[in-house]
Amino acid sequence: MSFSWLTCSLLLGTLCAGYSLGEAETRECVYYNDNWRTERTNQSGFERCEGEKDKRLHCYASWLNSSGTIKLVKKGCWLDDFNCYDRQECVSMEENPQVFFCCCEGNYCNERFTHLPDMIVKIRPPPRVPSMLNVLVYSLLPLCVLSLALILALWMYRHRKPPYGHVDLSEDPGPTPPSPMVGLKPLQLLEVKARGRFGCVWKAQLMSEYVAVKIFPVQDKQSWQNERDIFLSPGMRHENVLRYIGAEKHGTSLEMELWLITEFHERGSLTDHLKGNTVTWSELCLIAETMSRGLAYLHEDVPSHKGEGPKPTIAHRDFKSKNVLLRDDLTAVIGDFGLAVRFEPGKPPGDTHGQVGTRRYMAPEVLEGAINFQRDSFLRIDMYAMGLVLWELVSRCSDVDGTVGEYMLPFEEEIGQHPSLEDLQDVVVHKKMRPVFKDCWFKHPGLSQMCETIEECWDHDAEARLSAGCVEERIGQISRTISSTTSDSPVCIVTSLTNEDLPPKESST
């Protein structure tokens, strides 16, 4: 056994030495950007490659081929990628890609690029007489492999406790659904923007577009699969619902990562925005109205349209300010459907386990474990959470006669940043408390009407809560009727609203 280990070490050392000699250092690449006007860069030239010391650098090129007409898209430096190792020429090997992509090692190796599919027949070199080294390698290699396999089997037997707890790896996550963008290159991860219980969200670049890549570990495959399926439901394209691009699987077994690719919004979530900014009355109305419009669309049954099947009612089940994203113009889009459930006529809704979601935003009936497992019950749970998110917005409105406090989560003042389930049950269920309204809010006619709407969203009686469509209509009417304050004066120019002027209260069905 000791002889075989020594021999294996010598062989591996020889192979590694040979490998390092074949590595070509890349310092500069040919640069080109077809979108140079939009991205405000140079059109062509040379790019100096920079990266971490222990990472390899490469050059790349990407182009389109339309009926034999080649259109160059981009050239430049490419970060460490094992697919590019020891390639001295830039050659695309894929059979029929939508976008051609190649990478290589060595200065300016991407100056020329070509496409040679894998099926090309390679010319075989004339057979050589085996040398003594080859005979030695082929004789001892099986012995080395067998020795390593035995040692690895023994180690795995002794450490057979699974590293991720109970994970059913026998069930495959299923085939990745077809998507117009899946498989496009280059898709390059840039920086982590958020972390959560599901994994993390990366800002990434897909050609000239920034996208968000949500990466799930394999043990959270159910959340990935559920969110993917919700996005693929008929009729899920809406201006206030996050736009889906594609889903991919990377790696195998325990190392597998499940990717969900969506549009990217630089402003981030409503939580992030409210932490660092106050909002004016007009901004509050814009965010609240577009947010309620998105939730109303999710809750709605939409008949077949333009060849698509009917859109089912979708209950979000984890509605909170962290899952509301903001565009640059402050319109809201709703995302994160890992816990969402569909209600389709004649079909069971799937997993409708009661106590799911974020504890702080759970409705009283969820905290009590007293849910009626019907469609309308789940929609009313979303509406309770919407009331809390609207309170967060109002608490950061700058158009009030008084100072605006620091951003706080719902119930943070009452029970802190990390409440237990028992804390929330005591406050929300038994004491029937809700986040506090400040007196100065009622001096602003718009905010006072908004507070009334919030109270009807988080009503303890689930059947008494407003529907998302009613909230959208009310906020629209309030914002049109109440004139916003000027930037210089806290005095409002208003037209009074009475309860009779507001849209009638309706059930959240």
Q: H/E/C letters for each residue in 260-296? A: EEEECCCCCEHHHHHHHCCECHHHHHHHHHHHHHHHH
**304 & 452 share domain:** yes
Residue 20 lies in a domain: no
**443 & 302 share domain:** yes
List the CATH number of the domain containing 308: 1.10.510.10
Q: What is the 3-state secondary structure (H, E, C) of 360-390?
A: HHCCHHHHHCCCCCCHHHHHHHHHHHHHHHH
pLDDT of residue 160: 44
Express each pLDDT in 431-454 by its tens digit.
999 999 999 999 998 999 999 999
Q: Give the C-alpha distances (Å, rounded to integers) separating 413 from 173, 269, 418, 427, 435.
A: 42, 22, 11, 12, 8
Residues known to be catalytic? 318
> For the chain, which residues score pLDDT lower than 70?
1-23, 118-133, 135, 155-185, 305-306, 348-355, 483-509
Residue 280 lies in a domain: yes
Residue 286 lies in a domain: yes
**343 & 371 share domain:** yes
Residue 481 lies in a domain: yes
Residue 5 lies in a domain: no
CA 237 – CA 220 distance, rounded (Å): 25
Which residue, 212, 236, 264, sits at the end of a domain?
Answer: 264
User: Strand 324-326 relative to strand 257-263: parallel, antiparallel, unpaired?
Assistant: unpaired
**56 & 192 share domain:** no
Both tokens of residue 226? 């559920």
Work out the angle at residue 309's Cα, subtended by the Cα atoms of residues 306 and 314, and round it to the nearest 5 degrees. 120
Residue type, 65: N
**257 & 272 share domain:** no
pLDDT of residue 97: 78
CA 248 – CA 257 distance, rounded (Å): 9
pLDDT of residue 125: 45
pLDDT of residue 94: 79
**194 & 272 share domain:** no
pLDDT of residue 156: 66
Express each pLDDT in 356-414 by its tens digit.
789 999 999 999 887 777 889 999 999 999 999 999 999 999 988 888 989 999 999 99
**Quick check: 326 and 269 in contact, CB under 8 A?**
yes
215: helix, strand or coil? strand
Residue type, 118: D
Which residue, 115, 136, 165, sits at the end of a domain?
Answer: 115
pLDDT of residue 162: 34
pLDDT of residue 351: 61
> Count of domains in the chain?
3
**372 & 433 share domain:** yes
**303 & 385 share domain:** yes
Work out the angle at residue 115's Cα, subtended by the Cα atoms of residues 111 and 117, and round it to the nearest 5 degrees. 150
**259 & 273 share domain:** no
Q: Domain limits at 222? A: 185-264
CA 22 – CA 85 distance, rounded (Å): 9
63: helix, strand or coil? strand
Residue 154 lies in a domain: no
CA 92 – CA 111 distance, rounded (Å): 14
Residue 136 lies in a domain: no
Of the candidates 193, 261, 204, the one whose C-alpha atom is nearest the C-alpha of residue 231 is: 261
pLDDT of residue 36: 81
**249 & 352 share domain:** no
Residue type, 161: K
pLDDT of residue 142: 80
Which residue, 63, 84, 115, sits at the end of a domain?
Answer: 115
List the CATH number of the domain containing 97: 2.10.60.10
List the CATH number of the domain containing 230: 3.30.200.20
What residues are paired with 32 via a beta bridge? 44, 75
Residue 160 lies in a domain: no
pLDDT of residue 155: 66
**222 & 316 share domain:** no
**189 & 273 share domain:** no
CA 41 – CA 36 distance, rounded (Å): 5
CA 434 – CA 424 distance, rounded (Å): 11
